[in-house]
Amino acid sequence: MSGTLVLVRHGQSEWNLKNLFTGWRDPALTEQGHAEAKKAGALLKARGLTFDIAYTSVLSRAEVTCQHILDAVGQSDLKTIHDQALNERDYGDLSGLNKDDARAKWGEEQVHVWRRSYDVPPPAGESLRDTGARVWPYYMHEVQPHVLRGETVLVAAHGNSLRALIMALDGLTGEEVIKVELGTGVPIVYRLNADSTVASKDILEN
């Protein structure tokens, strides 16, 4: 028996548009972001996918993206679990800063290290490894059991919380995962074998 896991990064947020570090701050989706989330739902509906349960973070950009998808597939009232374990990486002191301003303050090289290294956190924030340390146990204990029972599960979350999941699913190293780019509102459909290994992976870009 194989199950299906669908991962979707939230649609464009107002702070994505403004080039700000967002982290655990809670800006809304832009008009484009709403459209991206609705398109994700339409793409999943076109594949005939419906869900047994949905998971999202406690940040509105992911919650609204999740709801747009459920509305599109005709499951507006589906049981949805909201948990901060799926929140975006906490950018600490960088949160709310324009990325160009951060480079001016700390230097291009240092900001690049904070953004793109696997295990170096920004001041008072989380590294990608730190993010994984809360995402992986949550996935293993809460999400994966549904998939291994043959269910179809939606996870609408964030670039870095999903990057951590993809690292585990795809067997990536720290060096490899930092190069993974996730488009806003682009569904990634995994089919898992009964032993939790990946049977197939499909990125629905159009």
What integer pLDDT is reported at residue 2 of this predicted model? Answer: 82
Reported as a single tens digit per residue, the pLDDT across 127-140 is 999 999 999 999 99
Active site residues: 10, 88
Residue 206 pLDDT exceeds 80: no
Q: What is the pLDDT of residues 25-37, one digit of tens each?
A: 999 999 999 999 9
- Backbone phi, psi, residue 188, to 5°: -115, 120
Q: Would you say residue 59 has pLDDT above 70? A: yes
Query: Please, are residues 7 and 157 in contact by the beta-carbon 8 Å criterion?
Result: yes
Distance CA 148, CA 145 (A): 5
Return the pLDDT at 20: 96
Task: Please write the tens of the pLDDT for every residue from 173-186.
Answer: 999 999 999 999 99
Question: pLDDT over 90 for what percent of the chain?
Answer: 98
- Residue 107 in contact with residue 74, Cβ under 8 Å? no
Contact 4, 147 (CB under 8 A): yes
pLDDT > 70: what percent of the chain?
100
pLDDT of residue 1: 65
pTM higher than the cut 0.85: yes
Of 20, 161, 24, nearest in space to 98 by CA: 20
CATH-assigned architecture of domain 3-203? 3-Layer(aba) Sandwich (3.40)
Which whole number is the average pLDDT over 4-33? 97
Q: Write down the residue that tokens 């795809």 correspond to.
A: 170
Provide the mean pLDDT of the chain: 96
Mean pLDDT over 111-126 rounds to: 95
